[in-house]
A and B are shown apart, each in its own frame.
Chain A
Amino acid sequence: MALSETPVEIAAEPAPVASPQGYWSGVGARLLRDPLTMICLGVVALLILSAVFAPWLGLADPYKGSMIARLKPIGTEGHILGTDEQGRDMLARLIYGGRLTLFIGLTPVVLAFFIGGALGVVAGYVGGFVNTIIMRTVDVFFAFPSVLLAIAISGALGAGIVNSLVSLTIVFIPPITRVAEAVTSGVRALDYIDAARATGANALTVIRVHVIGNVLSPIFVYATSLTSVCMILAAGLSFLGIGVRPPEPEWGLMLNTLRSAIYVNPWLSALPGVMIFITSLCLNLLSDGLRSAMNVRD
């Protein structure tokens, strides 16, 4: 490119000035221009809203079975998605099922984001002995494949919603800690941190004012990329019988109890898994969209 072109370009088109609204509105604008991400956001929002407002949607009672209306096929009069092995309305159970699946699938990542994020920022900022203690402990948890660790802790604690939340939170703290530590020690090495410390700011102030803002986006984007796995694992624990207890509607548990029906009404028994698949796909695409909108590189 010829050098003389440069001033002409500048004259014709002023250099883009940082938008006055700042970083987050830029992220919002980029997200709005990304149709796939917006569709996924819509689907996830719809799933969450329908789960939250399930009692007001005029659905059938998800707990009320019927001896004579068991395993009705998809498209039955009065039961659009058929009925399960105890004659309970599938549509109602799928929508109510989202309550527990989404709750147990998303809460652990939120908890792990705060706990792991804090541990990682402290380890990365303080360094030295504290870093060694935290990061070597994290290494030990990395010796377990996540599925195995979740099943091991849930299996030992026994079935139950709280136990599932505890085991999944423990599973996701180490990876988030590791990412938070890596980005924090990267920021810690920058000159302006030294400058802030030289002016007499104490550690808490430096972390609050200068570190958090710079490490939040990558940690947040990484955490969103874990939501899909967490939800699949949460439903998987119930599928194994060590998560939610019957008769609660929950997608993984429904998938398990309907396995006995695959020779009678095969496609009906696959329905709860379709819900898990759609949700997990949208969460993954949403996380990818967020990553590019927030300019986070791996």
Chain B
Amino acid sequence: MLSYLIRRLILVLPVAFGVSVICFLLVQIAPGDPLTAIMPVDATADEQAAMRAAYGLDKPLPVQYAIWIGNLVQGDMGKSIATGRPVAAEVFGAVKNSLLLAVSAAVIAFPIGIFLGFLAGYFQGTWIDRAVTAVSIMGVSVPNYWLGIVLVIIFSVNLGWLPSMGAGPGGSSAWEWDWLHMRHLVLPAVTLAVVPIGIVSRTVRALAGDILTQDFVQALYAKGMSRVDVLRHVARNAAATALSVMGLQLGYLLGGSILIETVFNWPGSGFLLSNAIFQRDLPLLQGTILVLALFFVAMNLIVDVAQAAIDPRIQRT
């Protein structure tokens, strides 16, 4: 197990390096340079050159990258061009809110997805199976930003039960665990849960269907094991794969919530990202994407290690 862990950790390094290069290049592919947004239109060439030098933009690219990465490992992600505040502080505040939303969506989606998938796999070929398959294909096909709007129309506009935007009363972004705040979480979390419900139920259905037709299941029944105990064996066999799919989904939820956060004005990383894009705040854009991507890399690592811990066959490959 330890050697697997070490091997897997070493594999992360080149990926993390590649991620940092892509995030660095994002700023380079942007038209103009990062200072265009704040530079006065009538700035003289001298003033422009001075500003460039102050931000280190006059140096060659590899040098800029080295400086950037050097600051990065010390926790300095630069300053937001729009607000002048450190990028790290802005990003981590927002990621906390995104994480809250993503985990809530996962808490809704995973049990429902597993239950539906197992049901469909167990009753394969019956109307239950077809109903679940229909639900899951709708789940993976729905544009969730539109579903969010539809839910707002039903539950906020028509019924008036739930708030349609923000993370707290009066537009405050300070989270607290009370109903006043939690009712703001309901619609975005449910909206975000729909796609993973579709994906998890699809995966679990295929897994359960596959395992149930294997010989060992017949053998367990033949030796007189009860239905419940057999299902426990099936669940254990499906666990490793199901877990890896769910871990990846959690990563997608965090990185993919930007559209939903925009629909609900949720003060998370997606909201920060769209602000960064519209204010041409490139350091903030770069920092947010870097943190989200590294989180996704870490999530992949955790999933792989957990999978190997559950299923010893994986360590040998």
Contacts and interface: CB of A to CB of B under 8 A. Distances in A.
A91 interface: no
A147 B255 contact: yes
Contacts of B123: none
Interface residues of B, number: 50
B22 interface: yes
Contact of A277 (B31, B143, B277): B143
Contacts of B251: 145
Interface in B153-194: 153, 157-158
Interface stretch (A9-17, A47-55, A61-69, A255-263): A255-263
Interface string A250-288: 000001000100110011011011101100110111001
Contact of A158 (B30, B255, B297): B30
B274 A240 contact: yes
A236 to B, nearest CB: 5
A291 B26 CA distance: 36
B242 interface: no
B152 interface: yes
Contacts of B294: 143
A240 B262 contact: yes
A19 B31 CA distance: 57
A266 B278 CA distance: 27
Nearest to B27: A156
Contacts of A239: 145, 259, 262
A228 B252 CA distance: 17
B15 A143 contact: yes
Interface of A is mostly: helix
Contact of A143 (B150, B258, B293): B293
Contacts of A284: 137, 140-141
A158 B31 contact: yes
Contacts of A228: 140-141
A144 interface: yes
Interface string B4-17: 00000000001110
A239 B258 CA distance: 11
A39 to B, nearest CB: 14
Contacts of B157: 262-263, 266
Given A145-B256, A153-B29, A235-B143, A140 B19 contact: yes
B142 A280 contact: yes
Given A152-B26, A241-B278, A259 B297 contact: no
Contacts of B285: 152, 155-156
A99 B31 CA distance: 27
Interface string B129-149: 000000001101111011101
A267 B153 contact: yes
Nearest to A264: B157
Contact of A144 (B158, B255, B282): B255
Contacts of A277: 141-143, 146
B258 A148 contact: yes
B255 A145 contact: yes
A156 B256 contact: no
Interface in A187-233: 228, 232
Contacts of A136: 14, 18
Interface of A: 136-137, 139-141, 143-148, 151-153, 155-158, 228, 232, 235-236, 239-242, 255, 259, 262-263, 266-267, 269-270, 272-274, 276-277, 280-281, 283-285, 288, 298
5 contacts: A148-B293, A240-B274, A270-B150, A280-B143, A284-B140
